[in-house]
Amino acid sequence: MEIRSVRDEADLSGATLVAGVLAGRQPLPGDEDLINAIDESLLDFVKFEGKTGQVAAVPHDEAEMLVLVGLGEEVGFETLRSAMGNAVRAIKTPRAVTHLGQVDIEGALRAVVEGAELGSYQYRRYKTEGEALALETLEIVDADDDVVAETLETTRATNLARDWINTPAKDKAPSELALLIQSSAADAGLSVELWDEPRIVEESLGALLGVAAGSDRPPRLLIIRHLPTSPVSHLGLVGKGITFDSGGLSLKTAAFMEEMKDDMSGAATVAAATIAIAKLGLPVTVTTVIPLTDNAVGGNATRPGDVLKPVEGPTIEVLNTDAEGRLILADGLGVVRRYEPDMIVDVATLTGAARVALGDKIGAVFSSDPDLASQILSAASVAGEDFWEMPLYQDYKKSLESDIADIKNISGSRYGGAVVAALFLSHYAGDAPWAHLDIAGPARSRETAGERVKGASGVGVRTLIELARTLARIG
């Protein structure tokens, strides 16, 4: 979709006009005539009252159609973004015009652009039937072009991550996904190193190799670097890139396996964020490390009881091969630490327990450093993504003691799984401030509503970009 700014006297012929309505059918300031001209019985008929989530299409004198979106009691950034997401799916003309970028709230224009771009996302690669959305051009009255352009970088990055995540595992073998990410990163002018299996062996990434051992599709590791000329700080990112998580020999049941093509969401998130940070030219060095592998059940698969040796840090007794994300992240963290970043953030669909704790819409943040935790939480809040802090409760570390190796990869208790997984990672994170984002809950949207579209959510991309903006500001 193209989004552009137009002057007030926008041409409405053949276009859809999009307007917001407050609860009780109250018009926004300036929209009184527009709303009062609507035949009330039409709105009664479609039960449109201006509640959040409501959409109605009604006739209009000049425009082809008027699409009304409910804004609820009071307009806020998230209600406006969500309303715009609902609007774009209701539009039946190629062109639409809206004044909603001028609503008198902080970030109105950004909310409109985000809602439109994220809400109109569709993954149609395998669809041979059905139609794509009609809308091709959205004209926002009196929009600031710089804000539009900057917002588009973040929404495009989110949609890029969604595309990679929605791709079936069959079509994103580690080698293929590595090339996809590499080519998008190269387009953004980023320097990319791609390690193949022999190189991974040479570098002694024993944990990544242990997870990869069960698959015929060899692993890869990507190192993407954004190297601005005068950086104010250096952010290290690591993303979990399991291209399919069968559980390995600790095999998942069918229902739990259904969504496991998503298990590279962390990888997609950090890659897409790095690309956007580069395109936005933010003065922060970013080193992004992405281990990519299947977790499969071939004859050479790692067995429960086997011991793996990551490149750096404690040896690991693998008692459950389904706790594989933490294994490849151990090596990812080991590699990123070589670059001595000022702080490290890893992103992973790591534990079902994080989803049990926080549900499908909230990601978990763990951090060794209170300042980094609060920077991430404020960045998430500005970005309009929902994260909640969870504790690195040190006492549980004991539960990872192993009889034969330095540590084991599960605790043996059913409880506190997200905390235990984070504590496992803390063994490999080094001394610089580190944070871990467990996005097992919100990585996938279970319904289409507002800016969310059923399928991959791309959660975390906008928070990481906003974090880089924060770092650029504070130095």
- Which residues of this protein are in contact with ligand BES, per CB under 6 A? 245, 263, 320, 322-325, 349-353, 355, 410, 417, 440
Of 69 and 440, CB closest to ligand BES: 440
* 3-state SS string for 253-284: CHHHHCCHHHHHHHHHHHHHHHHHHHHCCCCE
Q: How far is CA 19 from the centre of its chain?
A: 29
Stretch 283-322 residues interacting with Zn ion (CB under 5 A): 322
Using CA atoms, how far apart are residues 376 and 362, in angstroms rounded to an integer? 14
What residue is closest to ligand BES based on CB? Answer: 352
Q: How far is the CB of 466 from ligand BES (least distance, A)?
A: 24
Q: How far is the CB of 410 from ligand BES (least distance, A)?
A: 5
Q: How far is the CB of 385 from Zn ion (least distance, A)?
A: 21
Cβ contacts of 28 within 8 Å, gap of 6 or more: 19, 20, 21, 22, 71, 75, 103
List the single partner that 328 binds among Zn ion, ligand BES, none, CB under 5 to 8 Å by kind.
none
List the single partner that 352 binds among ligand BES, Zn ion, none, CB under 5 to 8 Å by kind.
ligand BES
Given the residues 25, 156, 225, 252, the one annotated as active site: 252
List the single partner that 417 binds among Zn ion, ligand BES, none, CB under 5 to 8 Å by kind.
ligand BES
Tell whether residue 153 is a contact of Zn ion (CB under 5 A). no
Q: Which of 358, 345, 346, 349 is nearest to 322 (CA)?
A: 349
Concatenating the DSSP letter of every residue in 136-151 gives -EEEEET--HHHHHHH
Task: List the x/- string, 205-244, binding to Zn ion by CB under 5 A.
Answer: -------------------------------------x--
Tell whether residue 262 is a contact of Zn ion (CB under 5 A). no
Concatenating the DSSP letter of every residue in 396-433 gives GGGGGB-SSSSEES--S-SS-HHHHHHHHHHTTS-SS-
Q: Catalytic residue at 252?
A: yes
Position among 114, 139, 263, 317 found at the interface with Zn ion (CB under 5 A): 263
Q: Which of 384, 351, 354, 350 is nearest to 465 (CA)?
A: 384
List the single partner that 280 binds among ligand BES, Zn ion, none, CB under 5 to 8 Å by kind.
none
Using CA atoms, how far apart are residues 426 and 330, in angstroms rounded to an integer? 9
Q: How far is CA 65 from the centre of its chain?
A: 34
Of 10 and 461, CB closest to ligand BES: 461
Q: Catalytic residue at 125?
A: no
List the single partner that 385 binds among Zn ion, ligand BES, none, CB under 5 to 8 Å by kind.
none
Q: How far is the CB of 72 from ligand BES (least distance, A)?
A: 31
Stretch that binds Zn ion, among 262-270, 412-420, 427-435, 449-457 (CB under 5 A): 262-270
Position among 114, 197, 245, 466 found at the interface with Zn ion (CB under 5 A): 245
Question: Rounded to whole angstroms, what are the CA distances from 456 to 86, 181, 263, 410?
Answer: 18, 17, 11, 27
369, 433 Cβ separation under 8 angstroms: yes
Q: Which residues are catalytic?
A: 252, 326
